[in-house]
């Protein structure tokens, strides 16, 4: 079974990069050659998820981005708008090559699972074709039950093992937030962890937060 991992989200902006940075740093702290792999970065600049992970971990060796596109759109749409050739096979092949060059790879998704990558293929196709287990990152508040359960269901339909769900920016400030972790456990039969809001002006704060609040089983699959 692969020791690599995918970090996917229920949507864009849910905190995949924060979780990715923390998980990669957790592995690197144990002297593991772990690296975040971003298949495609859109909205570049200013968006640069691999740069954030590298800064959080304190080394450029902690992250790589395979291609960057300026339009802040889904990769397939961004490539078309930019007049750039982008094929699914090139994305898949480049991800496989990057994973082969590191001991533990953490592939960070782009937006949600149904985001178009290229040639009619989506993020969920990439995760399934790479044969990676997944960690799902979701919002903590009202509305996350539906999005999270559908995401987990979609992954399992493609035979993608789900290591767990992370509810990001969890404060427990509302009844919905306080009850969501238990309800998601019941709905999905997944372990559910919560990550509080983090001041990301210092990227290394993401590493400390993940180390403090998320279980090691997300990367090691040991309950």
Catalytic residue numbers, as ranges: 38
Q: What are the contacts of 77-86 at 24+ separation with CB within 8 A?
A: 77/116, 78/42, 79/118, 86/40, 86/117, 86/118
For 197, the token pair is 């809001």
**Inter-residue contact 20 to 8 (CB < 8 Å):** no
DSSP letter at 200 equals T
Among 89, 109, 85, residue whose Cα is nearest residue 97: 89
Residue 35 CA to residue 54 CA, distance in Å, equals: 9
State in Å, rounded, how far the first CA of the chain is from the last one: 17
SS3 sequence, 167-188? EECCCCCCHHHHHHHHHHHHHH
């Amino acid at each position: 079974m692969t020791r690599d991992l995918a970090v996917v989200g229920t949507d864009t902006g849910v905190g995949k990069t924060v979780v990715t940075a923390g998980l990669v740093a957790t592995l690197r702290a144990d002297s593991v050659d772990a690296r975040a792999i971003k298949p495609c970065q859109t909205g570049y600049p200013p968006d640069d998820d691999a740069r954030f992970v590298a800064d959080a971990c304190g080394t450029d060796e902690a992250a790589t981005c395979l291609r960057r596109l300026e339009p802040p759109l889904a990769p397939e749409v961004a490539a078309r708008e930019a007049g750039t050739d982008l094929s699914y096979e090139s994305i898949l092949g480049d991800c496989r090559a990057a994973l082969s060059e590191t001991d533990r790879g953490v592939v960070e998704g782009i937006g949600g699972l149904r985001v178009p990558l290229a040639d009619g293929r989506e993020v969920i196709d990439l995760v399934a074709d790479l044969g990676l287990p997944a960690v799902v990152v979701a919002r903590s508040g009202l509305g996350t039950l539906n999005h999270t359960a559908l995401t987990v269901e979609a992954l399992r339909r493609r035979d993608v093992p789900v290591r767990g769900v992370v509810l990001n920016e969890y404060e427990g400030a509302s009844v919905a937030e306080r009850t969501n972790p238990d309800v998601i456990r019941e709905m999905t039969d997944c372990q559910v962890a919560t990550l509080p809001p983090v001041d990301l002006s210092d990227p290394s704060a993401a590493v400390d937060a993940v180390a403090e609040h998320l279980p090691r089983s997300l990367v090691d699959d040991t309950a």
